[in-house]
Amino acid sequence: MTGTASQALSGNSFTASYVLNSCQSKTKVAVTATDIATGYTVFSSGDLIGTTVVWTLPYTLTSYQINARAYSGQTGATLATASTIVSTTTPVPCTPSITETVTTGYYGIYPAIWNGTNAQNCLIPGTSTRLRITNRSNGSVVYDTTTPVMSWMLDYEGAVVAYDTEYQVEAELLDSSGRVLASDTQLTRSTPLR
């Protein structure tokens, strides 16, 4: 039995293959993959078709014990076993980041602030993005929201936006505990009264 792993920012793809020499036509094969560090079974299939198994997992730097068991399709008795260990590859270097693109204009007769937020969370589980807009003339926070979405567009517009006023637009990438992984702050001025 052999096992391989390939890795990308989107996750890990694992392949396990085996050769079965059986004198019985009703022989079946079951494969399980267990995270050696945690003991958790991450993949299990009880009746495989063919000799190659492929599955995908989120990126974790660890090793997996892959076990194959050939068994009788009639009695369930174990006929043969095989085992191998496969490890995830070193992750692609990645630094969490967040950027925003702030533009201003008009929404009808009202001023508008449009902001595009894009974050790279490097597959860190539980991350979220926070966007906060502060009116710098009086210090009031006029918009504040947190979302699990990494790339999104905000239309902050209408009568709630003051004319010809400086605003501070802050974007943050947060981990599951609320710690800031990356941030970006920009100042912009809303459009004047026409």
Q: Is 110 or 62 the better-scoring residue by pLDDT?
A: 110
34, 62, 87 — which closes off a domain? 87
Which region holds residue 26: left if phi is over 0, alpha if psi is between -120 and 50, else beta? alpha
pLDDT band at residue 11 under the 50/70/90 scheme: low
Residue 54 identity (one-letter amino acid): V
| Rounded alpha-carbon distances, angstroms, from residue 19 to 33, 80, 100, 142 | 17, 11, 52, 64
pLDDT digits over 33-43, tens only? 899 989 999 88
Task: State the Cα–Cα distance between residues 78 and 14, nearest whole angstrom.
Answer: 25
Q: Is 194 or 116 the better-scoring residue by pLDDT?
A: 116
Range of the domain at 19: 2-87
User: Any idea what DSSP says for residue 9?
Assistant: T
Residue 184: predicted pLDDT: 97
Q: With respect to residue 25, please indicate whether it lies within any of the assigned structural domains.
A: yes
126 in the same domain as 151: yes
174 in the same domain as 120: yes
Residue 24: predicted pLDDT: 66
Task: State the Cα–Cα distance between residues 52 and 67, nearest whole angstrom.
Answer: 13
- Full-model pTM: 0.56
Residue 21: predicted pLDDT: 76
pLDDT band at residue 107 under the 50/70/90 scheme: very high
Q: Is 147 or 59 the better-scoring residue by pLDDT?
A: 147
pLDDT digits over 44-69, tens only? 888 877 788 887 877 777 888 988 88
Number of domains in the chain: 2
pLDDT band at residue 145 under the 50/70/90 scheme: very high
| % of residues, the chain, pLDDT over 70 | 91
The whole-angstrom distance between residue 176's C-alpha and the CA centroid of its chain comes to 13
130 in the same domain as 180: yes
Task: State the Cα–Cα distance between residues 152 and 129, nearest whole angstrom.
Answer: 9
Residue 45 CB partners (closer than 8 Å, separation 6+): 30, 31, 32, 53
| Rounded alpha-carbon distances, angstroms, from residue 55 to 50, 58, 76, 188 | 14, 11, 25, 47
* 90 phi and psi angles, rounded to 5 deg: -60, 135
Residue 68 CB partners (closer than 8 Å, separation 6+): 1, 16, 18, 29, 30, 31, 81, 82, 83
pLDDT band at residue 124 under the 50/70/90 scheme: confident
68, 87, 106 — which closes off a domain? 87
Whether 90 shows a pLDDT value over 80: the answer reads no
62 in the same domain as 112: no
Task: State the Cα–Cα distance between residues 84 and 68, nearest whole angstrom.
Answer: 9
What's the CATH number where 44 sits?
2.60.40.10
Q: With respect to residue 92, please indicate whether it lies within any of the assigned structural domains.
A: no
On whether the CB atoms of residues 55 and 44 are closer than 8 A, the answer is no
